[in-house]
Structure 1
Amino acid sequence: MPHVSRLLVHPVKSLDPHPVDEVDINNGALRHDREYAIVDGNREFVNGKREPAIHRIRSEYDHETRTLSVREHGDDEWAEFRMDADRGELNAWLSDFFDYPVSVVRDASGGMPDDTTVDGPTVIAWETVEAAAAWFDDIGPEELLRRLRPNVVVEAGEAFWEDRLYADRDGVREFTIGDVSLRGHNPCQRCVVPTRDPDTGDETEGFRERFVTKREETLPDWANREWFDHYFRLMVNTSIPESEWGKTVAVGDELALGDVTAV
């Protein structure tokens, strides 16, 4: 059976992922995922889509103490901030890094995903990551995983297994992770973030073009082509019904496919 091999939450939107062994469902998302975000003076997100420099920030997060440690890539010294008591100092560190005023905001009710409609955890098979990394000469699977930024990584035994987790545009694929029921909606439309080096923010020349060509060539028979108006899509977007909120998913949980139901 396909099973969860990694669970990754991103405590601060667009900063580094934090691996966990188990996590509960909070208002349809993984608890702590995108709980914090960096915003500018107009309250607009400062994220990877609009700010390449954010890739140069390395971060670690301690959920027990709610402490964020940050440093610029290449530096050895970490700066530590308690997310409540030291928020002003953290804002100052980030503003100095970006060279314009920013602040950190919090939404503990379910995080701040880009897609506020299909806002469940994103899912990808590790075999898919390995296969897609092989499309590029200088990008390994671990680096590609950082570029793609999924929540749930599955060991499934075959590449592109996650393309089984959605149906056509009129339906959703029911599936379970352990005893948690989810709905698979669509293959994730990628933004500019995967095209950049996750350490420096530098654009990888020809990344999108190569990706699109190989994705079309390798699209499995079980993928619903109705979604592929373009082929810069990889990973699956999901939602979690309210009946499942408060349950827990864990590394090792098995995934099982269910029926297709109408939207």
Structure 2
Amino acid sequence: MAELRRITTYPVKSLDPRSSTTARLDGRGALAGDREYAMVAAPPDAPHDPESASVGGRGDYVNGKRTPRVHRLRSSVDRSAGTLTLREHGRDETHAFDLDDRTALDSWLSDYFGEPVSVRREPTGGFPDDRQFSGPTVVSTATLREVGSWFDLPTDDVRRRFRANLEVGDVPAFWEDRLYADHGEAVAFRIGDAELLGVNPCQRCVVPSRDPDTGEAVSGFRERFIERRAATRPDWLDSDRFDHDFRLMVNTHVPASTRGATLRVGDEVAVLGTRSLDGAGSRHARG
């Protein structure tokens, strides 16, 4: 029986994960608290439009796509205290910052990255990479283990590189490729009492090729990944959304009827079948 094995959120987009045994689907369908904060390459008073944010211009996200220095930041959020603690990898000194008054935090990050940086907050929906299908991302434990074998990497290292929200156990590698169909369609699946729609296999970027602690790149990562992904592609995978082999993990949409539900580690996961995607993809913003 497929079951939800792990729940992971990323309180600050692009920084360290937080694991939990339960998570609520918020009013926009994201996991509550996931990518709630984001670092933006702009002064605090500069406008930021998450709908048009990209890499390389004013107001863009400061993430692993923009600079490998992101990987060297260790972070933890204390929600009860309202603080973010940062430490540079390899150093003992820690810095705690107020998440309500982010003046000191913005100053420290600007010094660290060598450009104006400010931290923005979006309490509902957060700052997703896929702003159209911004539900929690899904992968299987067996898939992470298989990818790790391609590069001689431990499973937890691969987990930190690909940064999925939900991990499914007791299924074979690439099981999650069952959770999407063709354009205009979605695959409904249930986790506990919540119904989600699998839509799109996630297109990967440079981030998984880098060491999650140091930012050091694995030489030939993309080429090796594509070669092995093609060789291990399930025979039954036949979707026009899977248009190249540099894809892994599934982006989802959460119907309004399911928002507010709570997911729990140990919940049964069941595939319900293919549905029309009509009306499922409203554009709203949450690596």
Question: Aligning the two structures, in what range does the TM-score lie when normalised by the shorter sequence?
Answer: over 0.9
1:176 matched to which residue of 2? 190
* 3-state SS of paired residue (2:199): strand
2:118 matched to which residue of 1? 103
Runs (5+) with no aligned partner, structure 2: 43-57, 278-287
Aligned 8 A contact 1:91 1:104 in 2: yes
Matches for 1:49-64 after TM superposition, within 5 Å: 49-64=65-80
1:129 aligns with 2:158: no
Q: Which moved more, 1:34-43 or 1:61-70?
A: 61-70
Aligned 8 A contact 1:52 1:201 in 2: yes
Q: Which moved more, 1:216-225 or 1:93-102?
A: 216-225
2:33 matched to which residue of 1? 32
Candidates 210, 213, 234, aligned match of 1:196: 210
* 3-state SS of paired residue (1:243): coil
Give 1:99 shift: 1.4
Aligned 8 A contact 1:25 1:246 in 2: yes
Q: Distance in 2 between matches of 1:63 and 1:245?
A: 22
Identical aligned residues as a percent: 50
State the Cα deviation string for residues 83-139 of structure 1 (Å, max 9, x = none).
113x111111111111111010000121010111010000000011001110113x2
Give 1:204 shift: 1.1
Aligned 8 A contact 1:174 1:184 in 2: yes
Q: Distance in 1 between matches of 2:218 and 2:144?
A: 17
- AA matched with 1:45: Y
Give 1:227 shift: 2.5
Candidates 86, 92, 106, aligned match of 1:70: 86
State the Cα deviation string for residues 207-229 of structure 1 (Å, max 9, x = none).
00000000000011232242332
Matches for 1:1-263 after TM superposition, within 5 Å: 1-26=1-26, 27-41=28-42, 42-85=58-101, 87-137=102-152, 139-263=153-277
* 3-state SS of paired residue (1:242): coil
Aligned 8 A contact 1:69 1:80 in 2: yes
- AA matched with 1:24: R
Aligned residues: 261
Structure-2-length-normalised TM-score: 0.88
- AA matched with 1:18: R
- AA matched with 1:102: V
Q: Distance in 2 between matches of 1:239 and 1:156?
A: 23
Q: Distance in 2 between matches of 1:222 and 1:67?
A: 47
- AA matched with 2:100: D
Superposition CA RMSD, Å: 1.1
Q: Which moved more, 1:218-227 or 1:175-184?
A: 218-227
Report which of the two has the higher share of strand.
1
Q: Distance in 1 between matches of 2:98 and 2:139?
A: 32
Aligned 8 A contact 2:199 2:253 in 1: yes
Structure-1-length-normalised TM-score: 0.96
Q: Distance in 1 between matches of 2:238 and 2:190?
A: 20
